[in-house]
Chains A and B, each alone.
Chain A
Amino acid sequence: GAGVSQSPSNKVTEKGKDVELRCDPISGHTALYWYRQSLGQGLEFLIYFQGNSAPDKSGLPSDRFSAERTGGSVSTLTIQRTQQEDSAVYLCASSQTGGLQPQHFGDGTRLSIL
């Protein structure tokens, strides 16, 4: 489709395992964002990629979290040694050029840590 695609849509894993979440942005969009929404909370900024610039990682909650964006397109968010507090919906968004352009969101990955 033409929208932002995220996979998997749901992920259940045991505490201590590593997980990888994938985001396929809209083709041609240079800006890509990751957010986290915990139960009853708003969207928490995690990381932002813009073109070939160094990503803004200021929202990553700990060094267990990392993200890559290969070839300026697909992005993966990796959480190592997962903890129960990592349980949340992880949302990816892209925009045409960043800045004032509206962000287009995927449907998210619901992550549950047992």
Chain B
Amino acid sequence: DQQVKQNSPSLSVQEGRISILNCDYTNSMFDYFLWYKKYPAEGPTFLISISSIKDKNEDGRFTVFLNKSAKHLSLHIVPSQPGDSAVYFCAASGGKTSYDKVIFGPGTSLSVIP
């Protein structure tokens, strides 16, 4: 049973436009969420996180929105750049699983077209 879902395996966006990557979770005990970015043949790198006490966190071109009632979060990238082309993993932790056992989604592959 997948506790963190990313229902879009891939997404294509024109350079300069907004990229919106979605993530849904099923465990209402999760209260800390992260996004990681992964290039081919490299390990994932941390991008941005959000605690459940907030509904938005912004870092430069990256903003994460959290809707607790819908158990949904999204990552917005604006403006999108070709270097943003990568696989993006949504991850969640907290509650009974503790903050150390981070559950990752299957990833969404983003292609930013020049």
Contacts and interface: CB of A to CB of B under 8 A. Distances in A.
Contact of B89 (A40, A42, A100, A107): A42
A98 to B, nearest CB: 5
A112 to B, nearest CB: 14
A105 B44 contact: yes
A104 interface: yes
A4 B32 CA distance: 24
A50 B100 contact: yes
A35 B89 CA distance: 14
Contacts of B101: 45, 48, 56, 58-59
B46 A100 contact: no
A48 B44 contact: no
B43 A93 contact: yes
B103 A45 contact: yes
Interface of A: 4, 31, 33, 35, 40-45, 48, 50, 56, 58-59, 91, 93, 98-100, 102-108
17 contacts: A42-B105, A42-B107, A43-B89, A45-B104, A48-B101, A50-B100, A56-B101, A93-B43, A98-B99, A98-B100, A100-B49, A100-B99, A102-B34, A102-B49, A104-B46, A105-B43, A108-B43
